[in-house]
Chain A
Amino acid sequence: MNKYKKDLESIKVSEEFKETTKRILIEKLNRKNSIDIKKNKRNKSLAITAAILIIFIGGTVVIKYTGNKFILAKEQNSSTKVEAGEKGETNFNEESQGELLERSDDEESTPPIEFIPREDLPILSINYNSGDGMGYAVLMAYSIEELDNGNPWKEDSSINHLPVFENIGKLNEGGNPTGTISKEEMKNIVEDTARAFGFSIDSYEENHRSIVAKCGEVEICVGSDGSIEISFLTPVKLPSNIIFGYGNRVKNREDAETATNYLVNKYKEAIGFKEPAVDVGHGDYRSNGERVWQYDCYEGDGDLTSEILAYNFKKVSFIPDDFGNLIMIRVHSKDISKVMGDYPIISKEEAMKLLVGGNYSTTVKEVFPGEDYVKKVELIYNTDSYNEVFMPFYKFYVEIPTFEQDNGLKSYGIYTVPAVKGKYLKELPTAVIKFN
């Protein structure tokens, strides 16, 4: 690889090319900016006209809003149980929510309020343009059923509020996580991991983002976000009756689940989950027709909210090599210790309306083709490291008819819609297609 790096070092564009490129680009930019100025002028006159109209009718809107606010305040005083989402703590009390749904006596005269959170819940600001953090842009399968996965949230799940977390490990301007665990804590995790797996540490290597412990033929790497990678430099062989790996080695879901169950049991003590839930369905097909499986598990102990959080924020993955051996165990981990509040979430039907109305973000370079093409919906958290917050989204699997292949493989594009009620969001996405 040194030779390769050296070859690349020597690739440079000439100064002449740079100067010519700059000149052409600046000309293009000037032309674009002059068009933008014209557009802005036109928009400005439209905005002034609109503002005059708003001022004219605004009084009525303010009076109506104040009226509703008074009703809400009165109802909140009548019962402290309706408050949820105390800043800095999580309230997973399903019972109090049930009472809440049945509480309203005068629904005809008030807006359809399902849940009244504390008024001081912060408004959430999301950059819908950031890296996806919610899985592939497009998944390929012969039918949508093949993309079934271990998400504990199901379409008939009854859940109407979920916690939102501050992303303590958000990447800063230098691209490094901020406010995450200290080097000392990272070292503690390394030592705990080594102890749990029965490895003895020979030496450490450190850089600004991780600590790596060398334990003979094993390396344990802990990142500043708390994620752990245990690499087996000599791959671990599995019994011959366990089929594990890539491509067509693994014939079906049963094979993949058997392999995951075997590995979960083998490392159960070290992983430490009370009730490990196996999840193999996150893979899809390659365009050559090969099925890819993921070999994951998460803590299945606890109520539905606990399971959802475990599924999204703390998963263990087993990584094979091409020959069906285990080469790595990865513990995905995000710091969710700082709860911003317990936010009301919309139903999947409301989310569908937003999707159809264009309030989605996606990495698919296709405009949403319509409701008829929606084949599946999930509720997931966006765990993108660049975002300020981790909040729930509805993830729609949309069949993209133009992407169907000759071998019958269908493509399902992922379109996401925020699950938190719109009043707590600074803005909704408007057909945001990420990157280019």
Chain B
Amino acid sequence: MKYKTKLSSGDIEYFVEEYSDMIMRIAIHHVKNNTEAEDIVQAVFLKLIEKSPDFKNKNHEKAWIIRVTINLCKDYFKTPWYIKIVPMDDCLAYSFEDNEDIALNYVKRLPTNQRNAIYLYYYEELSVEEIGQILTAKGNTVMSWLHRGRNNLKTLLKGDMDHE
């Protein structure tokens, strides 16, 4: 990817191909269903067009997109400005709604910061420092979120197993 301020249609092609799945994965941690997650995917790209950020490198680009995705997820239910631009109910390849057999649904039950930290650390394989930069937190705070997240997951899994 060539880094420049003014976006072209080729850039749009690149960003959608490169980041749609990642944004979807992050969004699915925060919103209720796949349709809402798709709304987030499109909202992130709209934000990209609006801001046309001058990315310094691939890492900066990815960090910006993760950060914007998380912020938009937080704002999703609060902001009246959000306008869904296209209904895409049937477009998603996979649906995880109401399925308790998958590990993701346990992670979704964690507090927001722990959820974000767990995803970025285990799936995106970012370092604690990089996660700290994205989530605007110090390294030891991120360490604490990871630690608590893992402990909470253990408790959740154990609770469900005991219940069964």
Contacts and interface: CB of A to CB of B under 8 A. Distances in A.
Contacts of B16: 18, 21-22, 25
B103 interface: yes
Nearest to A136: B136
- Among A8, A10, A12, the most chain B Cβ lie within 10 Å of the Cβ of A8
Interface string B1-42: 000001111001100110011001100100000000010011
B70 to A, nearest CB: 10
Contacts of A17: 20, 38, 41, 88, 91-92
A172 B67 contact: no
B20 A13 contact: yes
Give the interface size class of chain B.
Answer: 35 or more
B81 to A, nearest CB: 13
A3 B60 contact: no
B138 to A, nearest CB: 7
A53 interface: no
B9 A29 contact: yes
Contact of A13 (B8, B38, B104): B38
Contact of B88 (A20, A26, A29, A127): A20
Contacts of B88: 16-17, 20
B59 A435 contact: no
A22 B92 CA distance: 16
Interface in B127-146: 127, 129, 133-134, 136-141, 143-144
Contacts of B47: 436
Contacts of B129: 385
A25 B12 contact: yes
A127 B20 contact: no
Contact of B49 (A7, A28, A174): A28
A13 B93 contact: yes
B25 A322 contact: no
Given A294-B140, A386-B60, A3 B92 contact: no
B77 interface: no
B49 A25 contact: yes
A317 B21 CA distance: 37
B158 to A, nearest CB: 15
Contacts of B96: 7, 11
Interface string B139-163: 1110110011001000000000000
B64 A435 contact: yes
Given A12-B24, A292-B141, A21 B42 contact: yes
Given A8-B104, A12-B21, A26-B9, A131 B63 contact: yes
Interface in A86-144: 127, 129-133, 135-137
B77 to A, nearest CB: 17
- Among B63, B134, B151, the most chain A Cβ lie within 10 Å of the Cβ of B63
Contacts of A363: 136
Give the interface size class of chain A.
Answer: 35 or more
Contacts of A175: 57-59
A38 interface: no
B41 A21 contact: yes
Contacts of B67: 435-436
Interface string A300-325: 00000000000000000101011000
Contacts of A209: 127
Contacts of A1: 103, 122
Interface string B84-127: 01101001111010000011101100000000001100110001
B73 to A, nearest CB: 13
Given A132-B136, A175-B57, A292-B141, A26 B12 contact: yes
A173 B136 contact: no
A239 to B, nearest CB: 22
B148 A174 contact: no
Nearest to A295: B140
Given A25-B16, A29-B49, A319-B140, A173 B57 contact: yes
Contacts of B12: 22, 25-26, 29
Contacts of B45: 21, 25
Contacts of B107: 4
A128 to B, nearest CB: 11
A348 interface: no
Contacts of B60: 130-131, 386
Contacts of A246: 144
Contacts of A385: 129
A27 to B, nearest CB: 10
Given A21-B86, A319-B143, 16 more contacts: A3-B102, A4-B122, A7-B102, A7-B103, A13-B93, A14-B92, A25-B45, A129-B54, A171-B57, A173-B58, A282-B138, A322-B147, A328-B140, A330-B139, A435-B64, A436-B67
Sorted from nearest, which 3 A-B pairs have the closest CB atoms?
A: A175-B59, A4-B103, A17-B91
Interface of B: 6-9, 12-13, 16-17, 20-21, 24-25, 28, 38, 41-42, 45-47, 49-51, 53-54, 56-60, 63-64, 67-68, 71, 85-86, 88, 91-94, 96, 102-104, 106-107, 118-119, 122-123, 127, 129, 133-134, 136-141, 143-144, 147-148, 151
Interface of A: 1, 3-8, 10-14, 16-18, 20-22, 24-26, 28-30, 32-33, 127, 129-133, 135-137, 171-175, 209, 246, 282, 292, 294, 317, 319, 321-322, 327-328, 330, 332, 363, 385-386, 435-436
